[in-house]
Amino acid sequence: MRLTVALLVGMFWGTMASAQIAVPSYRFLNGDLETPFQAWNEARSALHNGSSIETPRRPVLPGVHGRNLELLQDYYVRYYPKATQGGLRSEATRRISKASDFRISALRGFMAEAIYLEKHPEWRYPSKPNTRQVDVYRPQPDGRRGIHGAQIKFHIDGNPALYAREMLSDHKPQRFVVPDDHVEPIKSYLRSVGREDEIRRVHGIGESSRTIDQRTRQARREAITVRSSPYLLLGAATALELGPVAYQLLTGEMTTDEAQKMLVRSAPPIGMAMVADQALKLRLLGNGNLRGAAKGNAIVGSVYFIVDTGLLINEFGGVSNALHDPRFWIDRGTVVIGLTGTVLLCSKVGAAITGVSGGFGAPIGMGSALACTFIVGSAVSVAGDEISEGMLGPERRKQRIKRYEDAQKEISKELECLGSLQEPVQPSRSLDCKPAGAAVGTAVGI
């Protein structure tokens, strides 16, 4: 019995000791937890969650998007798991893309914390998003128990008086971190108000406020591009398919029946591209983060290209005929240029218009990008057809002239046959008469 009790007591205190070491506890050197119960409860929670001060809680960058966007994605999924539907980076991207000019001030703060960790590998995020006054921490430099905490602040105007007031409310962290160009003004202000002892707390992030603002805005622009590019890609594919049809209908070069056949022919490649896009969106392929990224666009574009190429090879009568026909290569080159160029160009146009359109920037930017997609995609496709017609024009004219001459001969024979019905046929004359209408049919086919 005594052995059991001793074992239980030993396990309890062993658990407490290991938790004290393992937890990236947000206690400062002077202690952030007021009661022993709070200390025990935090240690118990940390042990249960498997937190460890040996495992750095640092930004995770998958490399799917740009670095700036992924820094903000990581912050969102780390601190707003419910808002991001359990930590979906695609949902974080959606929220970043919808950030208004008012909300972007908060994004600057997120970016400032992420950049500080980027510049200082020994620092890490706390595991609890509601940790009081601690944005980032590191182990004590001298190896003592507890942590070395830092509060990171960013104000675009760099008002030193505002920073100084926040230093009073956030008094527990050992460091008060601000953009590099705000450090000296804060120190000068603290000297002027007799708070020289607090100057040692002020440290720089490692980047200026201008750089942080630029990186934040670039991340938002990329988020807008990522959100819009799937629709632009499908719009470009649709424009490539239907642009020439609409152009030829308007110019009278195609009949309504021919246009309907072309619409039916365009359905499979566009439909399969939509299926691939939805598979990315519904996380049947990947975790949803690929949609809108370069890799996701490559998947959707490849599906469209493969299906469309298969139909085109069938129209040319086989692989050998297609590969030896210049029109096949012109058509494939038009598709590649149209898809990549249109998405790259029009996504930039949409992001730029969104940034200058105020509160209704997102819908205006998306509408502008889609309009750009249909215009550019149709123009590229029509240009490809014109190039193909230009290269093969002389040969086609020769074929048409030959068909016209053959039709004239057939019509002359038909007239002779009609005349022979009224005159007696000479014994020396033999006419190869065809049924009425045969020559006319040949002429119609010109």
Residues 333-359: tens digit of each pLDDT: 888 888 888 777 877 777 677 666 554
The string over 179-214, giving b where at least 16 C-beta atoms fall within 10 Å of a residue's C-beta and e elsewhere, is beebbeebbebbeeeeeeebeebbbbbbbebebbbe
Listed residue (173, 131, 134) closest to 29, CA to CA: 173
pTM across the whole model: 0.68
Listed residue (235, 289, 349) closest to 94, CA to CA: 289
Give residue 149's Cα distance to chain centre. 35
Percent of the chain with pLDDT over 90: 28
* Rounded mean pLDDT, 392-403: 57
How many residues appear in the chain? Answer: 446
* Rounded mean pLDDT, 117-138: 85
Between these two residues, 86 and 434, which has the higher pLDDT value?
A: 86
The string over 18-30, giving b where at least 16 C-beta atoms fall within 10 Å of a residue's C-beta and e elsewhere, is ebbebbbbbbbee
Between these two residues, 310 and 325, which has the higher pLDDT value?
A: 310
Residue 415 predicted with pLDDT over 50: yes
The model's pLDDT over 203-262, given as tens digits with 9 standing for 90+, comes to 999 999 999 999 999 999 899 889 888 888 888 888 888 888 887 788 887 788 888 888
Residue 37 predicted with pLDDT over 70: no
CA distances from 181 to 20, 186, 204, 212, 217 (A): 38, 10, 8, 11, 19
Q: Which residue type sits at 237?
A: A
State the Cα–Cα distance between residues 189 and 193, nearest whole angstrom.
6
Residue 145 predicted with pLDDT over 70: yes
Listed residue (407, 409, 388, 410) closest to 399, CA to CA: 407
* Residue 209 and residue 179 in contact, taking contact as beta carbons nearer than 8 Å: yes
Residue 170 predicted with pLDDT over 50: yes
